[in-house]
Each structure stands twice: as structure tokens, then as C-alpha cells.
Structure 1
Amino acid sequence: MDESKELETQSVGKLLLKFSIPAVIGMLVNALYSIVDRIFVGRGVGSLALSGVAVTFPITNIIMAVGMLVGTGAAAVVSIKLGQKKKDEAEKILGTSYVLTIIMSIIVTILGLIFLQPLLKVLGASAETMPYAKQFGGIVLLGTVLQNVGFGLNPIIRSQGDPKTAMITMLIGAVLNLIINPILIFGFKLGVVGSALATITSQAVCSIWIYKYFTGSKSALKLKKENMKLEKSVIKEIIAIGMSPFAMQIAASLVTITINTNLAKYGGDLAIGAYSLIMSIAILILMPVLGVNQGAQPIIGYNYGAKNMGRVKKALLYAVIVNTCISTVGFILVQLFPTEIIKIFNKTDLKLIALGANGLSIYLMAFAFVGPQATCTNYFQAVGKAKYSMFLSLLRQITLLIPLILILPHFYGLNGVWRSGPIADFVSSVITFICIGYEMRILNGLGNDAAVNSCEERAKLSV
């Protein structure tokens, strides 16, 4: 039986487990990319190198934003198309997303390398951290295509009903990165250059693996030459939905720039390094949440396309419950053991440890709300309602967090930067819950037999 058929016939709870567990494992492993880099750089090179690498995070976010713009948008549209029994159109989306990913990644590489040094200055690189930032950022930019082919197409594997392969893809890259990183940093004494090379090498292997998958016999959707072209209508569908995670990643870059500027002013280079550790921990906790969201996305999208509204609501409810538990457990751990967690990255620099532990406990004070908020935002993306998804994605980062970062340090100094996080988390969560409550009332009114606009019509309404 076609694996995608299970999305409308199997128990929603079993489906969520089937799709989420591999996705959670894959996302956790994927988080190891940045965490492994920071652990080995922090221990093998030093605190200033760690801060230099941290300065490049907005560049990494921009690279990921391109992959998410195409990959996440394409995955959501593919799920809906499969629910509508339109396999040929799903394959057109796959082919277009492959070409679009490569073209956009090349553009990012060229522009990034041309403007690398002035960009790093804007991002907060000091005279001491600039050499490390240039080395790491330059190599990562060279690997943009390698990263985004794998990162961008992997969600489509999951959308067609093959979560195990999507997980294996992430495992391959992360395990390779874990092996190569210490060899290049400690064995060959390459420092941050070795860390960056390990990252893009492992990503290259993932991209090759995914290309082989979509051109081989295992994939239900095939990457065909005749579909490797840029069709305006297909691009519009992909971007309409993918614009939300893209904007969220760009917003994350703007937040990082704003935070780094204030951290440099109120805490210096070490505060920037401490923030990078805080974000590593936050990302590690958030990855299971995103994994559950990725598991729920094809279930919600397929059944929305198939007009099975009862299954849509049930998948959303289960995902909200699971992700609330995950983010609550994460909140409890960082509040109980902030110092011990920071010491994983650096055991010797007492000032860095103190800055990181204090910032961690404050910045993630409202983290319990992040799980359900992210899940509700993911729902709007999964059903093709790009306007809602975009609004909720940007709400925390742009509307709330950046103004708070600019205002609170004037009154509370460095702690003002940390306090901006929980305030933005809480307020954005309340607004998101109001929006999803209204959406559920609409679904209750529709019922299972109500007509749902086609994906194309949804895209037109939401842009």
C-alpha cells in the first residue's frame, strides 16, 4: 500500500508516533551540528574563538532560511497535493524545489563572500573575534548549496510518508560531523577552520544521499529531469507557505544582530559567547518540539487536503499536548541546573560560566509556553494559511523581542537583554492561543464534509 494512504486511514495517535519519533531523533541529531561545533571550539580553541563563531550565527540562519523557504514550503504543498491525489503535481513541486534551492543557495554564497567582512562587523565582530568569524563564516558560505540541498529536500521525504529515511539522512550528517570535528580540530590543529570543514563535509554527504534517494527506487516521488525547471505557479505555491519559516529565520538573524550589539555593549565578547551557549541549549530543547511539528505536518496537511477535519483537529491536539510536556521539562531542567549545563561547553572560564548560567535561567524563564505556541503556528503552515503563519512567526521575533532588547537594557543592563526573552515568549503565546481558538471554531463549523479551498486558492488568499 502507498505509504501516504496511511495518513487518512491509520490511527492519528499511531501516525503521530510513527512520524514524530524519527523526526525528533533527526532534529536532535541535527542540533548536534551547532552544539558539537561549540563544544569542540570552546574546549579546543578558546572563549574568543567561541565568540567569533557565535558572531556568524546570523549568516548560518540566512543559509538555513533559504533551505526552509523552499523545503518547508514544498513539503507542506506536497502533503496537500498527495491528500488531493495529485501525485504528478507533487513531483513537479519536488523538481522545482530542487532547482530553486540550488539557484538561491548560489546567490547567497556569492553575496555572502563579497560582503563578508563588513557584514561581520555589523554582526558584532570585534578586532579579537574577527579572524575566527571570517574563517568560520567564509567556509560555511562556500558550503551553502551542500547544506540546503539536503536540508531543503529532507522535509519532502517525510511529507510523502517516509519518516525513517528522513531521520537516517540527519543521522548520517550529524554522526559524520561528530567524528570529523575532533579529528580536524585536535588531530590536525585546524581550529575553527576544521570545525567549519567538518560541518560542510557532513552536509555534502547528506545532499548526495538525498539526491540518490529521490532518483532511486525507494521514493514514491521521483526527481525527474522534465520537472527540474522553474514554473512560476509552482514557485508561488512553495513561497506562499515557505515564506513564514523563511521570515522567522531572517527575523532570528535580526534578533541575533540586535542582541549581539547590546551584549557587546553591556557584557563584552564573553557575553556574546554566553548567548551562543544559551541558544545551543534552547535549540536542543526546541528540536524535539520541531520534530513533533514535522511529524504532525504531513498528517494535518494531508487530511486537510482530503477534508478530514476531525483528524486534523485530533493531530493538532496530540501535538500540542506532547510539545507542552517537552518544553515544560526543558524549562525545569534549565532552572534547576543552569551552571552544570553551561559547563558542558567550557569548564575553565569562570566568568563565561557565570554569565551563561545567569542568562540561561532568565532567558528561558517562560520556555514552557514555547512548545504549544510553536505547534499552533505550525498548524497554520501545514494547512497553507501563510498569512496567519507569517504573522505568528514574526510576532515574537520582530514585533516583541527586538523592541524589548532595545529598551530593557537601559533600565536593567545585561539582565535587560536576558529578560526580553521570557516577556516575548509569554505575550506571543497568549496571542497565538487566541488565534488557534478562533481557527478551531471555524473547523468545528466546517465539519468533515465541508469543501476546502484548493492549495492554489489558499496560496492566492494568503499572499
Structure 2
Amino acid sequence: MHVNNTDIPVKDPRTVMLEHEKIPKLLLHYAIPAVIGMLVNGLYNVVDRIFIGQGAGEYAIAGLTITFPILIFMQAFGMLIGSGASARVSIYLGKHNRDGADAILGNAIILTLITQLLCIVPVMIWMKPLLIAFGASERTLPYAVEYLTIVVPGNILTTLSFGYNAIMRASGYPKKAMWTMIIGALTNIILDALFIFGFGWGIRGAAWATFIAMLVSAVWVMHHFFSKNSLVRFRRSAMKLSWKESLEILSIGISPFLMQLLSSVVNVVINRSFVGYASTSQDADIAIAAYGILNSFAMIGVMFVLGISQGMQPIVGYNYGARLYGRVLQTFKTCLSVNIAVSGLTALSALIFPYALTRLFTTSETLTNYTVTAIRVGMCAFVFVGVQISSTQFFQSMGMPMKAMVLSLSRQVIFLLPLLIILPVIIGGLIGVWLALPLSDALSGALAITLVVGHVRRMKRMTHDTAELETETEKVID
């Protein structure tokens, strides 16, 4: 007689731990591998920029920065599938529904192949016109084209590696997910040094290093989900497109997708602002290169905060599905406290050590002097990023896409885009562009606090376990 997995509670040790382990220890268990994985993930881009800046010069960094809108746009579709699927897998496992989790995984692979095909072909066809529209000059365009020609076709590997790594982590394998990133990053670093300095390939070498590193990571991740030892795995019967599972994935994934998509738009606006307000085309190239360096440093802080927040996701998702709201709130409180400390230290480092940070990327005195000021201005309110990212992940983990979407859009769109348009006119010139960054961080953090406090109060009315919940609620609000 056939027995449906849905009717039998899953008593896997990983799910038992999610329900009963002490929250600080549990968050540490998930967050440390996630943080290491995310920091290593950030090294893909940061190491490329360091090697390119030292080996090919400031215009190569500017050319690489010009590619950001296209790369972010393509990564958005990976986040659409990966983030949505990982959150849904956590929730299904919290409900002891392994069949539902497998169905999500099977639909995710089909959606990935479709979306990547729709991205790669148009970008390859219209690459040069897009780069020129995004602010490339005659000095930076050759670098940008050379890099994207190799990296864009390999974006399917990037999506498989990063997107399914999130699902691996959410299904109870945080350490293995960490190794996905470590293996890929080490491959990238070694090949960067070999191709750029050993073979003298310049920015083309960085592109090939990234391509090969993503291939290695993708093979590692796919092997896990085809293994019979995985709690959630690819099943032939589940590898088909279903409207139900697809909508479940997309409804949650739409928030990080829009955040990435509109981040691409913001990068275009920033680059075009540099071109429009700089006195010469060469000055615009220097400003764009400085933004690339600032973005690299900010990325390390963001990856740290994202790693902690992603460590929170399976705990919140499982316990929310199991209606253990006290554990949900305690997890968020712990995550938020750590992320505020991390983002605060990141901002402080930017204010104290901007020169040393800049010299990692360039030997040019002109670019260094400009970037030091840009980092101090652009990073001064970075502490609020910890609040915004933690809160966004909190709502996303509970399957609340609208609130997560509002918070995702707040920093990159709702506040930043208007500020990028208004401040340069009011204040005058490039300083207005740089000031838009910290003001947007502060405003998005304030919005996150408002939404979280309101939701915590509503959660208090959702449970009869008032003794536990009141204690955790007061701690979160305080």
C-alpha cells in the first residue's frame, strides 16, 4: 500500500533541532556557515576588483563598475527563484511536508532554466548599446565588453550555485552550503592570480576565473540535490512546472527580485549622474571607479549582515510554520542585535581607515584621494543597513512578501532614487549624489523599525502562549 509522505511527520534530527534547540546556539549553528559563505561569496567580486585594479588600472575598475547594472539584473532572476524556493522549503519542512518541499525544488529548476535563457540571449545581442547607455566611455567600454562576453553566458552557473545553495542551507545543511562558497571562492582567487598576473590576461582573466569558479560550485550543489542522502532532493515526478508551486516560489522571491532589479536601475542612475555632473568625461570615469571601490567595501558589510539574516531564515521559517511564535521573536531579536553591531563597526571602519581600504584596489593617487572622501560620506549611516536587511529577511522568512518587498524597495528605490534626483540639484554637483547614499540608509532603517514593531504587536494576539510571547515582545520592542 502506498503511503503519502505528507501524512507522516518528519522526525529528522535537523527539524527536531529547529524546534527545540536554544535560540542563541541554533542561530550560531546556522549563521556561522552562512556568514562564511556570504563573505566568501563577496570575495568573488571584491577579489576580481582588487586584482583588476592592481593589474589593469583605474579605468579597468571603472569598466567593471559599468557592468554592475547588467550583472545585478541577471542575478535578480536567480534570487527570484532561489530566495523564494528556500523560504518555501523551510516552511514546508516546518509543517512536516517533505513532498511539498520536493515539489518546490523540482519547479525551481525548471523556472531557473527558463528565466536564464530569457536573460542571456538579449544581453549578448545588445551588450554594447546597453553599456554606453549606462555610462561607459571610450576608455572603459573595451574593459566592460571583454568581461561580460565571458561572464554573461556563464550566469546560468551563477544562478545554480547561489540560488540552490540557499535551498541547501534552508533544508538543514548550513555547513555544506558554506563549503559551496569556499570551494568556488578559492578557485576564483587562485585562477585570478594565475590568469591576470601569470598569463597577463587582464580583465579577461578575471572573467574566466569567475566562470570556472561558478562551474565548480554549481556541480557541487547539483550533486547534493541528486543525492539520496539529502532531506530535500530532485525527484523525477516533481521536476515539472506547476502553477501552484511556481506561484508559491515567485510570491516570496518577488521581494529580493525587485530589490535586485531596481538596484540595477539605481546603479544606472548613479553612473549617469556621475557622467552628467562631472566636469569632464575623465572625471566621471574616476567617480565611477570610486563608486566601485566603495561598493566593494560596503559589499563585505552587507554580506556579513545577509549571512546572519540567512542563518535566521530556516529557524524563523520552521518555527513560524510550527506556530511557535515565541521562538520566532527571540530569533529575530538575537539576529537584529548582532546585525546592528556588525553594520555599526563597518561604518566606523569606513570613517577611520578609508585610505588603507582604497589602496587595496588602486595605486593611483588621483583615484585614492577622491575615493577616501567618497567612502567617508557614503558609508557614514551604514548602521541602518543592518536593521533594514534583518527586517526584510524576517518578513520574507514568514512568507509575508508584501512587507518584505516594501522594505527591500525602501533603501534602493523608495528613498534612494528620489534623493539621487533631488540632492544634486539642491546641493549642487557630485556631492549630492554621494549624500543620497547615507540618507537613504537612515530612512530605510527607520521604516523597518516601524513595520517590525507593528508586526510584533500583532503576533502577540496570534497565540495563547502569552507568558512566553509577552517577554520576547518587550525585548524586541525595547
Structure 1 length-normalised TM: 0.95
For each residue in 1:82-128, what CA deviation from the matched residue of structure 2 results, as whole angstroms up to 9, or x when unmatched? Answer: 00111001001011111211221122111110111111111111111
SS of corresponding position for 2:418: helix
For 1:67 and 1:5, the matched residues in 2 are separated by 30
C-alpha RMSD of matched pairs (Å) = 1.1
Q: 1:235 to 1:25 in 2, by over 3 A?
A: same
Tell me by how many angstroms 1:159 deviates.
0.8
Of 374, 378, 385, the residue aligned with 2:389 is: 374
In the TM superposition, what are the counterparts of 1:336-347 in structure 2 within 5 Å? 336-346=352-362
- Supply the distance in 2 between the matched residues of 1:102 and 1:171 (Cα, whole angstroms): 25
Structure 2: distance between partners of 1:135 and 1:432:
40
Q: 1:95 aligns to what?
A: 106
Q: Which residue of 2 aligns with 1:203?
A: 214
Aligned twin of 1:308: 324
1:187 corresponds in structure 2 to: 198
Partner of 1:398: 413
Aligned: 1:295 with 2:306: no
User: Kindly tell me: are residues 146 and 332 of structure 1, through their superposed partners in 2, closer, same or farther at Cα, counting changes over 3 Å?
Assistant: same
Equivalent pairs, count: 449
Structure 1: which 5+ runs fail to align?
Answer: 451-463
CA deviations over 1:340-387 (Å, ceiling 9, x no partner): 1111111x2111111111111101111111112210111111101101
> Aligned-pair distance for 1:162?
1.0
1:359 aligned residue (345, 360, 374): 374
| Aligned-partner Cα distance in 2 for 1:373–1:387 | 15
Q: Which residue of 2 aligns with 1:152?
A: 163
Counterparts in 2 of 1:359 and 1:448: CA distance versus 1, 3 Å: farther
Name the stretch that deviates more: 404-413 or 142-151: 404-413
Residues 249-288 of structure 1 correspond to what in structure 2 (within 5 A)? 249-265=260-276, 266=278, 267-288=283-304
Return the letter of the residue paired with 2:251: A
Paired amino acid for 1:363: G
- The equivalent of 1:453 in structure 2 is none
Counterparts in 2 of 1:345 and 1:448: CA distance versus 1, 3 Å: farther
Aligned to 2:72: 61
Distance of 2:288 and 2:464 partners within structure 1: 51
Separation in structure 2 between the aligned mates of residue 73 and residue 374 of structure 1, nearest angstrom = 16
CA distance in 1, matches of 2:418, 2:75: 24
- In 1, Cα distance between the equivalents of 2:143 and 2:239? 38
Q: How far apart, in 2, do the equivalents of 1:448 and 1:274 lie?
A: 54
Question: What are the Cα deviations for residues 286-329 of structure 1, in whole angstroms up to 9, with x where unaligned?
Answer: 11100000000010011000000000000000000000010011
Structure 2 CA distance, aligned partners of 1:189 and 1:284? 28
Structure 1 residue 217: deviation in Å? 3.4
Contact 1:307/1:448, CA 8 A, preserved across alignment: no
The correspondence for 2:230, drawn from 219, 237, 244, is: 219
Contact 1:366/1:426 (8 A) holds in 2: yes
Q: Would you say 1:415 and 2:426 are equivalent positions?
A: no
Distance 1:59 1:226 in 2: 35
Q: Whole-Å Cα distance in 2 between the matches of residues 30 and 218 of structure 1? A: 26
Instruction: Report the equivalent of 2:475.
Output: none
> What TM-score comes out, normalization by structure 2 length?
0.92
Residue deviations 1:163-198, cap 9 Å, x none? Answer: 000000010110100000111111111111110110
Deviation at residue 448 of structure 1 after TM alignment: 5.5
Contact 1:308/1:448, CA 8 A, preserved across alignment:
no
Structure 1 residue 241: deviation in Å?
Answer: 0.2
C-alpha contact (below 8 Å) 1:75/1:159 kept by paired residues: yes
Task: Indicate the residue corresponding to 1:457 in structure 2.
Answer: none
**Structure 1 residue ranges (4+ consecutive) displaced by more than 4 angstroms after TM superposition:** none
In 2, distance between residues paired with 1:314 and 1:184?
Answer: 48
Q: Does 1:242 align with 2:253?
A: yes
Contact 2:346 2:383 in 1 (8 A): yes
- Relative to structure 1, the CA distance from residue 305 to residue 448 in structure 2 (aligned partners, 3 Å threshold; closer, same or farther) is farther
* Equivalent residues of 1:307, 1:449 under 8 A apart: no
- Superposition pairs of residues 72-111 of structure 1, within 5 angstroms: 72-111=83-122
Q: 3-state DSSP class of the match of 2:415?
A: helix
**Residue 441 of structure 2 corresponds to which residue in structure 1?**
425
- 1:449, 1:248 → 2: CA distance? 35
> Does the 8 Å CA contact 1:364/1:422 hold for their aligned counterparts?
yes
For residue 164 of structure 1, the aligned residue among 167, 171, 175 is 175
What percent identity do the matched residue pairs reach? 40
1:126 alignment counterpart: 137
> Cα offset for 1:7?
0.7
Do the aligned partners of 1:96 and 1:230 also contact (CA within 8 Å) in 2?
yes
Question: Contact between 2:387 and 2:448, CA under 8 Å: does it hold in 1?
Answer: no
Q: CA deviation at 1:449?
A: 6.2
Q: Is the deviation greater in 308-317 or in 146-155?
A: 146-155
Cα distance in 1 for residues equivalent to 2:355 and 2:434: 16
SS of residue paired to 1:430: helix
CA contact 2:293–2:358 (8 Å) conserved in 1: yes
Does the Cα contact within 8 Å between 1:102 and 1:149 map onto a contact in 2?
no
Name the counterpart of 2:476.
Answer: none
What displacement does 1:218 show? 3.2
Write the deviation string for residues 428-455 of structure 1: whole angstroms up to 9, x where unpaired.
11111011000000111112669xxxxx
Separation in structure 2 between the aligned mates of residue 126 and residue 238 of structure 1, nearest angstrom:
40
Q: Distance in 2 between matches of 1:99 and 1:200?
A: 22
Instruction: Please say if residues 18 and 26 of structure 2, whose CA atoms lie closer than 8 Å, have aligned partners that are also in contact.
Output: yes
Hey, what does 1:326 align to over in structure 2?
Answer: 342
Moved more, 20-29 or 256-265: 256-265
The residue identity in structure 1 corresponding to 2:291 is: Y
Give the superposition deviation at 1:412: 3.1
Name the aligned partner's letter for residue 295 of structure 1: G
**What's the counterpart of residue 63 of structure 2?**
52
Three-state SS of the structure 2 residue aligned to 1:220 is coil
AA partner of residue 11 (structure 1): K
Cα deviation for residue 264 of structure 1 reads 2.1
Do structure 1's residue 387 and structure 2's residue 402 form an aligned pair? yes
Amino acid across the alignment from 1:239 = L
